[in-house]
Amino acid sequence: MPKRLKELTEKEFNNIKASLRHDIFQPPVTYGGEFDHFDGHVDRGGFGFDLLDEMLKYLDGTKDLMDKIKVFYHNLVLPKEDHRKILTVKYFANTTSLKPPTLEEAKRTWEKQHVPPDAMALLEREFKITKELEKVDSQEREELVKEGGYFSTDPSGFKLKDPDKYKDPIQVPQQIKDIIRKRKEDVAGFVDTPIEYAPHSSLVNITRSSLAAESGDTHHHKRAYSMAPRASFSLVPGA
């Protein structure tokens, strides 16, 4: 275990918790930052939307959290049984360097680096089951899937199973509540706005005057939406 984590005091740990809580509740300062907050979850089919909620519940309610983190870190980095899941990519200058070392050669290297005995036992277990690939293509990926499958996309995996986690509703800062209220108002005023679809290259040529002329009503808004992949849209007000 790193010396920093081993010697961490309760006061220092509480400061780290407060800093993490502050970062989680930090409101976006741009529309792009707000969009990025949700973009990844949407791309994954809605997977993980409640992850931050679960983090806050665990952060604020779990007893002996610092001790649990130390135990978790040790089990993650130096499991006494089984092995870690690691993907390593190495680049070689020539084909003669591709020959992997033997276990005995690896052991001599670990000893020179003063690797502790429990870590050497873990490295030896991992060495024996390591799968080495000299190329990466669909065939190799198919073989890996057959052997190990995919990581689960079950949203319940984000639920932290800890009886001590925070049970009460999370207290959201007023600044965040104000942003949520404003976004609801934006959506309500935007949902019935007509859409003007256009190729990405011509989106910049769509002007307020042309949209107003086509609509015949200069007092309404229209949306200009690019049909390019991962496109953006703009709200063009009437004159």
Sequence ranges of the domains in the chain: 1-77, 80-150, 175-236
Percent helix / strand / coil, the chain, rounded to 5: 55, 5, 40
**Model pLDDT, residue 135:** 80
Identify which of 23-27, 210-214, 225-229 has the greatest average pLDDT. 23-27
**Model pLDDT, residue 207:** 46
pTM: 0.57
Residue 238: pLDDT over 60: no
**Model pLDDT, residue 199:** 56
> How far apart are the C-alpha atoms of 117 and 123, rounded to whole Å?
10
**Model pLDDT, residue 123:** 94
Residue 52: pLDDT over 90: no
Residue 80: pLDDT over 60: yes
Q: How many residues appear in the chain?
A: 239
Choose the weakest-confidence range: 8-12, 135-139, 192-196: 192-196
By C-alpha distance, which of 31, 39, 40 is closest to 235?
Answer: 31
46: left (phi over 0), alpha (psi -120 to 50) or beta: left
Question: What six digits make up the tokens of 149?
Answer: 């499958």
Mean residue pLDDT of the chain comes to 76
Rounded average pLDDT over 111-139: 89
* DSSP secondary structure code for residue 205 in this structure: G
Question: What six digits make up the tokens of 7?
Answer: 């010697």
Choose the weakest-confidence range: 57-61, 140-144, 176-180: 57-61
Residue 43: pLDDT over 90: no
Rounded average pLDDT over 187-210: 59
Rounded average pLDDT over 3-31: 88
Rounded average pLDDT over 45-62: 78
